[in-house]
Amino acid sequence: MPAGNVAVVRDVSLTNGDATSHLMGIGVGGLAVLLSFATIASAGILEWQGHHVLNPGDSLHFYSAGGSLAGIASGYLLVLP
């Protein structure tokens, strides 16, 4: 997250694009804090919904223990005063 902004993450979805199941997770700053690793089947979807604030310097990460994944996140960006 760039300086001077705060993001509020509302929804995150990961899709397993591989032919086999894989562990996947969603995290902030290198830790799977939004959603711990879960086994997702081929063409399966891992979804998280809520409110999580990303402060300046934070980053959102998508994790897969193998195979391909597609991830998307939505929310809103606030400008700090």
Please write the tens of the pLDDT for every residue from 13-63: 999 999 999 999 888 877 767 777 889 999 999 999 999 999 988 999 998
How far is the CA of 77 from the CAs of 14, 54, 56, 71, in angstroms?
21, 9, 11, 19
* pLDDT tops 80 at residue 80: yes
Q: Which helix (H) or strand (E) holds 42?
A: none
Give residue for tokens 């562990």.
23
The residue among 3 and 32 whose pLDDT is bigger is 3
Confidence bin at 4 (pLDDT 50/70/90)? very high
pLDDT of amino acid 32: 60
* pLDDT tops 90 at residue 71: yes
